[in-house]
Amino acid sequence: MRVFVTGTAGFIGFHLARHLLELGHRVDGFDGLTPYYDVTLKEARHAELRQFERFRAHIAMLEDMEALTRAVETAEPEVIVHLAAQAGVRYSLENPRAYIDANLVGGFNILEVARAQGVRHLLMASTSSVYGGNEHMPFLESERADFPLTLYAATKKANEAMAHSYAHLWRIPTTIFRFFTVYGPWGRPDMALFKFVDAIEKEKPIDIYNHGKMQRDFTYVGDLVDAIQRLVDLPPEIGADDSVSPVAPFRIVNIGRGEPVGLLDFVEAIERKLGRRAIRNYLEMQKGDVPSTFADCSLLERLTGYRPHTSVEEGVAAFVDWYRGYYGSARG
C-alpha cells in the first residue's frame, strides 16, 4: 500500500511511518522540520526512517500548497494520514499565529490534495483537548465538543468540521482520531515525560501544576500507532455507527488507554525507573489546562478488536531507556 504521512519527523508521525514500513508498505513522508523544538531530534528520526528503501522524505511546509501538491502527485498515495500540526497547548498562548498557519491553512491544503488525489481513505489527527470544558467522563465521541479552552484545541476542532464538509461534498472517507496524552520513546522535549526525566536526571526541580491534583489518560505511542494502522483499513461509510455522520463517510474515534492515571502516580513511576527522587515544585493550574482526561475507547475496540494496553510503568521504562541511550545517562 502507498501511504502519504505528514509529520514524519515528528514524534507520532515517525512511529507510524516506521510501523507501516516494517509491515512492508511504501511511505512518503512530508515534514517542515520547524524549530519549535530541537531540529536535530527531528533529523535523527528521519535518519532512522531513511534506512528503509520504501521511505521517501519531502521537506516543506504544509502552507506551501505547491510543494505539498507536488509531493502528493509524486507519491500517488492510496491513503493519507495527516499528523503534522503545530502542537502544544501551552505554546498556543505564546505564538497563536503558528496554529492558524499550520493547523488551519495546512489542514485545508491536506483536504484539497486528498480531494484531487481521490484517496480511498483520509485519516487526520485531532486531540482530546477538543473536549475542553466537558465535565462528563469518560469522553465519548458522539458528545458535543463545542467548548475549547485553547486556540490549539479550537484549531483542531475546526479541522474536524472542515474535514466533515469535505467528506460530505466530495465523498472522501475520512477518519478523525482524538489522541489522549501520547508518550513514549522519541517523544517531544516540550512534553511532560521528557521534561520530568530530563530535569530529574540533572537533579533540577520539576514543575507540577494544580499541586498534582490532575489525571491524564496516558497512551503509549506503540499502542497508538497500532490502533491507527488498524483503522487505515476501515474507511467509514455513511451512518454505520454512533460517531459517523448521517450525511458523510466520516468517523471520529478516541484513541486512549481508557484508564486515567494521577499525575503524582506518573511522577512516582518515573522516579522508580530512574532510581532517584524528583525535586517537586508545586504550582497552580496553568491557563487553558484541564484537571482530567478520560477516553471512552469502546468504539475503537468495536471497530478494530483492539484496545491500548501498555501500562505506565512499561511505557515510562521504554522512554527512559531510549532517553539514556540517545542522550547518555548524564546529559549536559
pLDDT tens digits, residue range 49-78? 999 999 999 999 999 999 999 999 999 999
Whether 213 maps to a domain, the answer reads no
Q: What is the mean pLDDT of residues 115-129?
A: 97
Q: Which of 36, 99, 131, 152 is catalytic?
A: 152
Q: What is the mean pLDDT of residues 101-125?
A: 97
User: What ranges make up the beta strands (E) of 158-303?
Assistant: 174-179, 182-183, 205-208, 215-216, 219-220, 250-255, 261-262, 279-282
Whether 117 maps to a domain, the answer reads yes
72: alpha, beta or left, given left = phi > 0 and alpha = psi -120 to 50?
Answer: alpha
Extract the C-alpha cell encoding 133: 470544558
Q: What is the mean pLDDT of residues 32-61?
A: 97
Whether 199 maps to a domain, the answer reads no
Extract the C-alpha cell encoding 3: 501511504
Task: Tell me which DSSP letter residue 169 carries.
Answer: H
Compute the distance between CA of residue 237 and CA of residue 312 in angstroms, rounded to an integer.
35
Task: Tell me which DSSP letter residue 209 carries.
Answer: G
Report whether the peptide linkage leading into residue 236 is cis, meaning its omega lies within 30 degrees of zero.
no
Average pLDDT, the chain: 95
252-275: b or e for each residue (b if 16 or more CB lie within 10 Å)?
bbbbbbbbbbebeebbebbeebbe
- Domain with 18 in it: 2-184+219-257
174 forms bridges with which residues in the sheet? Answer: 122, 250
Tell me: pLDDT of 180 over 60.
Answer: yes
Q: In 171-290, which residue ranges form alpha helices assigned H by DSSP?
A: 192-201, 221-232, 263-274
pLDDT at 287: 85
Tell me: pLDDT of 14 over 90.
Answer: yes
Whether 214 maps to a domain, the answer reads no
Whether 271 maps to a domain, the answer reads no
Res. 332 pLDDT band, cuts 50 70 90: very low
Res. 240 pLDDT band, cuts 50 70 90: confident
Res. 241 pLDDT band, cuts 50 70 90: confident
pLDDT at 93: 82
152 is catalytic: yes
Res. 210 pLDDT band, cuts 50 70 90: very high
Whether 323 maps to a domain, the answer reads no
The pLDDT tens digits of the residues spanning 281-311 come to 999 998 888 889 999 999 999 999 999 999 9
Domain count of the fold of the chain: 1
Tell me: pLDDT of 330 over 50.
Answer: no
Q: What is the mean pLDDT of residues 175-201?
A: 97
8: alpha, beta or left, given left = phi > 0 and alpha = psi -120 to 50?
Answer: alpha
Whether 192 maps to a domain, the answer reads no
Whether 297 maps to a domain, the answer reads no
Q: What is the CATH number of the domain that holds 76?
A: 3.40.50.720
Strands of the 79-82 sheet, one edge to the other: 55-59, 26-31, 2-6, 79-82, 121-127, 174-179, 250-255
